[in-house]
A and B are shown apart, each in its own frame.
Chain A
Amino acid sequence: MSLRRWLDRAHSVPGAPSVRGIGVTGREWTDIARDVAVAGGRLLSLWGSNTDAAGAAVYAAFLLDEGALIAELPISTGEQTTHYAGLESLFPAASRMQRALFDLHGLRSSDPDRRGWLHHDSEYEFLRVSGDGVHEIPVGPVHAGIIEPGHFRFSVVGEKVLKLEQRLGYTHKDIERRFTQLPILQGHRLAARVSGDSAVAFSWSYCQALEGMSECAVPPRAAWLRAAFLELERIANHLGDLGALGNDAGFAFGLAQFSRLKEQLLRATDHAFGERYLMNAVVPGGTRADIAPAAAVTLSECIGAVAREARVLHGIYEEHAGLRDRFMDAGRLATDLARQLGVLGLAGRASGQSLDLRIDCPCVPYGDLAPAKIVHEAGDVAARVAVRFDELQESCRLVGRILDALPPGPHLATIEAPAADSFGAGLIEGWRGPVFVALEAGPEGSIRRCHPHDPSWQNWPALEHAIIGNIVPDFPLINKSFNLSYSGHDL
């Protein structure tokens, strides 16, 4: 049956534009998921709750052409061995989310994979590959480099990877629980630190949900400033990655140049907004700081210079035979597979998945800004590099436009804590992909529940596929080309 019947029944959810919610029965839970899958929709997030105060429920958020749809399934907890139907056969990415949900809330899906995911209290059984000459290489959780911790188990023949299995959860800090200890008007600070490289995306997403629930009208100037923050975050991350990718392919020049540009950008950001990384920039009701006219000019000039230099470096990367050789065909994720796996964001757009919330489901001011959508088809490291180069230019253009056309007026509105039991959702296209926050208010300005979701949940499993058939020494390069979050995923 079509999606229409669900959408007609659903109510609108405050926060991000075009989010709807619907309460479902156990049977409808699977029906709705199937209808979404048939219509080509994606699973955005799956989470749950189990508290004395609010009872138990599981939630699935889907991404459709029409926006997002959140299904809520109330659960009666008891002695049963299975509490709800797993969605992993329709959406493979659901599996890890269901395992995490069990770790966090004790609610069990029908998923046959019952291994713990975020909790590491029992021995982990890796899937074994056997055969002539197959051996295993375990790596991590501490890696050789300045990166986040996680464990990778490679099954290889010679240098060729037959299988990679990831074991994540090392940075699990019980963030969902931590949220419930904070006042709802302070939760944005924790949201910004779910994944520090996506601080703006998460804090904006959180505030979007909160402001919807509190019926707070965000001043236009604040919305435009937030967009500038989000694009600066995208530029900073892309600059960092483009340098690191050059370096991982043996071109240290790339790292030196891009890291210099990134430093210039961070200093200009600091000068304009008082911090190098915008960890505290988005606050409920607007933005922490405004920008002085003189600082806007300086920032604009810096962005112009970054764009110009990046264009020259793009030419150098393209012409460099060694880089092309390492980038092309490495870690290929085919379009079909990317669709099946529900890959999101930058990695999705490098594998032909045309989804960018800034364009497909725009919040203010993206309707006015009209960013260009950047999609490449090849799905290899080269394509993920190309998406970054193109998006970098586009984001520089957007920041320039925003600084030119900033609406006058205040950058902050007053906001009150929302009523108890209210529910809202935030949805922002961060540099990695869609960042989603589901927020529910408790009494007296408290948080009953907050679920932040990073697109890395969807994209980590895709990396397991992309590496197959490549050689182990190419893993760092391929891994970097995805650059997924551990902290944002481990919660």
Chain B
Amino acid sequence: MLKTLRKIGSIGIVTEPAPAADELLRVRAALSEKIRTILGRALCIRHVDAGSCNGCELEIHALNNPLYNIEALGIRFVASPRHADLLLVTGPVTTNMETALRRTYQAIPDPKLVVAIGDCGCTGGIFGEGGASRGRVANVIPVDVAVPGCPPAPRQILSGILTALSRAGRHS
């Protein structure tokens, strides 16, 4: 126990400031002021891997580490789509995941936001479209913000999430 406490004490707080929103990532019109007030500063995210290589997941995980500390911004990952405001989707959508993705999207209460993560989520990436891949997330559900990268770094993912929440044109 003493060792544990000593470790906690010696490390201190390492969290860094969050990145800004980035209007370039937005693909649909921004939220109305009213909805932004409803969502406030507590955002619940449900993640769905619709067929990724697991690379993007690794960087989404990093958002929970003490340096990005996403919970300190009032953003939480939740286990049920019914508790979520925002759906974070990775991967090209595989045929085998298409139904599960649609159902998860439908289960999220309105108003809802969708952020597509990674080159795969944005365009189908290296896996493309065709065969067992339906390609980009927007082919299956409406997408608000798309974050490119393979995988995108945690700051870019965070910036994408904050963009979805932000007022249009505030940062560009």
Contact = CB atoms under 8 A, between A and B. Distances in A.
Interface of A: 120, 141-142, 144-149, 169-175, 177-178, 181, 189-190, 193-197, 199, 240, 253, 255-257, 259-260, 262-263, 266, 276-277, 279, 312-313, 315-316, 319-320, 485-487
A257 B4 CA distance: 10
Given A145-B79, A170-B94, A256-B66, A196 B58 contact: yes
A393 B14 CA distance: 25
B35 interface: no
Contacts of B128: 178, 181
A146 B52 CA distance: 12
A149 B100 contact: yes
5 closest cross-chain pairs (CB), A and B: A196-B55, A144-B79, A259-B65, A196-B53, A174-B131
24 contacts: A145-B77, A146-B77, A170-B51, A172-B51, A173-B94, A173-B131, A173-B132, A174-B131, A174-B133, A181-B128, A193-B125, A197-B58, A253-B8, A255-B64, A257-B7, A260-B14, A260-B65, A277-B58, A279-B55, A316-B3, A316-B7, A319-B3, A485-B54, A487-B54
Nearest to A251: B4
A312 B104 CA distance: 42
Contacts, number: 139
Contacts of B54: 148, 195-197, 485-487
- With a 10 A CB-CB cut-off, give which of A120, A190, A193, A199 has the most chain B CB atoms: A193
A259 B131 contact: no
Contacts of A266: 62
A279 B42 CA distance: 34
Contacts of A256: 65-66
Given A149-B100, A259-B62, A316-B4, A171 B94 contact: yes
A146 B61 contact: yes
A49 to B, nearest CB: 16
A315 B55 contact: no
A312 B3 contact: yes
A21 B167 CA distance: 62
Interface string B38-65: 0000000001111111111111111011
Given A146-B57, A147-B49, A172 B132 contact: yes
Contacts of B79: 144-145
B18 interface: no
A263 B67 contact: yes
A277 B66 contact: no
B3 A315 contact: yes
